[in-house]
Structure 1
Amino acid sequence: MTGGPRRPGLFLTFEGGDGAGKTTQAALLEEWLTDAGHRVVRTREPGGTEVGRLIRDIVLHHRGEVAPRAEALLYAADRAHHVETVVRPALERGDVVIQDRYLDSSVAYQGAGRVLGTEEVRQLSLWATGGLLPDLTVLLDLDPAVARRRLDADDKPFDRLEAERESFHVRVREEFLALAGAEPERFLVLDAARPPAELTATVRDRVAALLG
Structure 2
Amino acid sequence: MEAARGKFISLEGGEGAGKSTLLAGLRACIEQHGIALVQTREPGGTRVGEAVRTIVLDPALHDLAAETELLLMFASRAQLVRELIEPALRAGKWVLCDRFADASYAYQGGGRGQPESRIAELEHWACAGIRPDLTLLLDLPVATGRARAAGRGDADRIEVEADSFFERVRATYRQRAAAEPQRFRMIDAGQSPSDVLQAAMVAMAHLFEAIT
Q: Give the corresponding residue for 2:135.
A: 137
- Of the three residues 73, 89, 92, the one matched with 1:91 is 89
Question: TM-score by structure 2 length?
Answer: 0.94
| Structure 1 residue runs without a partner (length 5+) | 1-6
- Of the three residues 113, 116, 120, the one matched with 1:115 is 113
Q: Give the corresponding residue for 1:68.
A: 66
Separation in 2 of the partners of 1:84 and 1:62? 29
The 4+ residue runs of structure 1 with deviation greater than 4 A are none
- Of the three residues 183, 187, 190, the one matched with 2:180 is 183
Contact 1:29/1:200, CA 8 A, preserved across alignment? yes
Contact 1:142/1:192, CA 8 A, preserved across alignment? yes
Q: Give the corresponding residue for 2:208.
A: 211
Separation in 2 of the partners of 1:149 and 1:122? 32
Q: Give the corresponding residue for 2:151.
A: 153
Matched, 1:102 2:84: no
Partner SS, residue 8 of structure 1: coil
Separation in 2 of the partners of 1:8 and 1:18? 32
How many residues align? The count is 205
Separation in 1 of the partners of 2:124 and 2:144? 32
Separation in 1 of the partners of 2:116 and 2:138? 20
Q: Give the corresponding residue for 1:36.
A: 33
Question: TM-score by structure 1 length?
Answer: 0.94
Matched, 1:25 2:19: no
Cα distance, 1:62 vs. partner? 5.1
Separation in 1 of the partners of 2:108 and 2:178? 19
Q: Give the corresponding residue for 1:4.
A: none
Cα distance, 1:207 vs. partner? 1.6
Deviations 1:45-91 (A, max 9, x none): 11100000100000011512211100000000000010001000000
Separation in 2 of the partners of 1:60 and 1:169? 16
| Structure 2 residue runs without a partner (length 5+) | none
Contact 1:55/1:78, CA 8 A, preserved across alignment? yes
- Of the three residues 38, 45, 48, the one matched with 1:48 is 45
Contact 1:45/1:101, CA 8 A, preserved across alignment? yes
Deviations 1:16-68 (A, max 9, x none): 10110111111110111112211010000111000001000000115122111
Cα distance, 1:199 vs. partner? 1.2
Separation in 1 of the partners of 2:31 and 2:129? 28
Q: Which amino acid aligns with 1:186?
A: R
Contact 1:46/1:79, CA 8 A, preserved across alignment? yes
Deviations 1:133-187 (A, max 9, x none): 1000000001111111101133x01111111000000000000000001100000
